C-alpha cells in the first residue's frame, strides 16, 4: 500500500494525505457483507450512566461495525477462501472476508501479503502460513504473529492495529514468550491462539490528517490544554495570563501524564511480564 496526496486546492489538501487502498480488492467500491454488519451506536464518550468518561469524543460520520472473528475456533480444520480484502472504518487495519466450505462467511484481520483467492485455515493441524490461526504451541519460533490471545478461548487481544506484529521467541513447558512491538517480553499459555504474519496497512502511521475538520469526521472534538482551563476544571488550570501549569503534567483527576506509573501494583497479569517496555517513544523494531 502507499500514500496518495491530492492537488493542493486548499490549505487542508496541501498538507493532507490518504491511503491509496491498493491492497483492497475493490478500492473504489465499498460493499461489505450485509450479514456481518451492525450499526455502530455513538456514545460521545459517555458510560451507561450518561457521565463523560472519555473526553473530546462526539460527532463523526455514521459507521457500520464489521463483526470480526477474533477467536477463529468454530471451524477448525475447515479451509476457507479469501473473497476480498476490504476497508474497515472502525479500525486502522484492513479486514478479509472469508468463506468456509459450508458457505459460512466471516471477517478476519487481514495480514500483510494476504490476497483475494488465497486459502486460510485454523486449528492445531493448520500449516504455519500467513493468515492461518494456530495455538502458540504449534507455531515455529521466530515467526511474526498477530491477534494474540492472553487467555485460551477469549479471542485475540493484542497486536491488532495496522502494522503491528509480535515475535515468538521461546517455548518452555506450558508457556511461550513473545516480544511485543513496545519491547515488552510477556509469557502466554501455549494453548492460546495467534495468527501468522503482521497486520496489513503498515503505512497508516504516515498519513497526515491535514485539517481539523477531518478529525471531526472521525468523531474527535478539539482537545483543550489543561493550562487553558479554569482551576475548577483541571489541576493545571488558572493563573494570571499564560502559565506552565505549576506542576508536572497530569490528567483532570491528577494522574501523571508523562512518565508516571499508572499500572496497578497488584495487577494479576504482572506476573506474566518477563521484561517491561522501555519508557519513551515505542516503535516496532522487528
pLDDT in tens, the chain (286 residues): 689 998 999 998 999 999 999 999 998 888 899 999 999 999 999 999 999 999 999 999 999 999 999 999 999 999 999 999 999 999 999 999 999 999 999 999 999 999 999 999 999 999 999 999 999 999 999 999 999 999 999 999 999 999 999 999 999 999 999 999 999 999 999 999 999 999 999 999 999 999 999 999 999 999 999 999 999 999 999 999 999 999 999 999 999 988 888 889 899 999 999 999 887 665 554 4
Q: What is the DSSP string of 208-248?
A: ---SHHHHHHTTBPPPPPGGGS-TTT-TT---SSS---SSS
Measure the CA–CA gap between 168 and 139, rounded to whole angstroms.
Answer: 8
Distance between CA atoms of residues 208 and 200, nearest Å:
18
Query: How many angstroms separate the CA atoms of 34 and 108, rounded?
Result: 15
User: How many CB atoms are closer than 10 A to CB 137?
Assistant: 15
Q: Which domains does the chain have, with CATH numbers?
A: 23-40+59-205+266-275 (2.30.30.30)
Per-residue model confidence (pLDDT) at position 7: 92
- The answer to whether the CB of 98 falls within 8 A of the CB of 113 is no
Beta pairing partners, 189: 175
Amino acid at each position: 500500500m502507499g500514500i496518495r496526496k491530492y492537488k493542493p486546492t486548499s490549505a487542508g489538501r496541501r498538507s493532507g494525505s490518504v491511503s491509496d487502498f491498493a491492497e483492497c480488492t475493490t478500492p473504489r467500491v465499498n460493499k461489505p457483507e450485509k450479514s456481518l454488519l451492525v450499526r455502530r451506536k455513538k456514545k460521545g464518550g459517555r458510560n451507561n450512566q450518561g457521565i463523560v468518561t472519555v473526553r473530546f469524543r462526539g460527532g463523526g460520520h455514521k459507521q457500520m461495525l464489521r463483526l470480526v472473528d477474533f477467536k477463529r475456533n468454530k471451524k477448525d480444520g475447515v479451509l476457507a477462501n479469501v473473497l476480498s480484502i476490504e476497508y474497515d472504518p472502525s479500525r486502522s487495519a484492513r479486514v478479509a472476508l472469508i468463506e468456509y466450505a459450508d458457505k459460512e462467511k466471516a471477517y478476519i484481520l487481514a495480514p500483510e501479503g494476504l490476497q483475494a483467492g488465497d486459502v486460510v485455515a485454523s486449528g492445531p493441524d493448520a500449516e504455519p502460513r500467513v493468515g492461518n490461526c494456530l495455538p502458540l504451541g504449534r507455531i515455529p519460533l521466530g515467526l511474526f504473529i498477530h491477534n494474540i490471545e492472553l487467555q485460551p478461548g477469549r479471542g485475540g487481544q493484542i497486536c491488532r492495529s495496522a502494522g503491528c506484529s509480535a515475535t515468538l521467541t521461546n517455548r518452555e513447558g506450558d508457556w511461550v514468550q513473545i516480544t511485543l512491538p513496545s519491547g515488552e517480553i510477556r509469557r502466554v499459555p501455549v494453548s492460546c491462539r495467534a495468527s501468522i504474519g503482521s497486520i496489513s496497512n503498515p503505512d497508516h502511521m504516515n498519513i497526515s490528517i491535514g485539517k481539523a475538520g477531518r478529525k471531526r469526521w472521525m468523531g474527535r472534538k478539539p482537545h483543550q490544554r489543561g493550562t487553558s482551563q479554569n482551576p475548577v476544571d483541571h489541576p493545571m488550570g488558572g493563573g494570571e495570563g499564560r502559565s506552565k501549569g505549576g506542576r508536572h503534567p497530569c490528567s483532570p483527576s491528577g494522574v501523571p501524564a508523562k512518565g508516571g506509573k499508572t499500572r496497578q501494583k497488584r495487577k494479576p497479569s504482572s506476573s506474566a511480564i518477563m521484561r517491561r517496555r522501555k519508557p519513551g517513544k515505542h516503535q516496532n523494531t522487528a
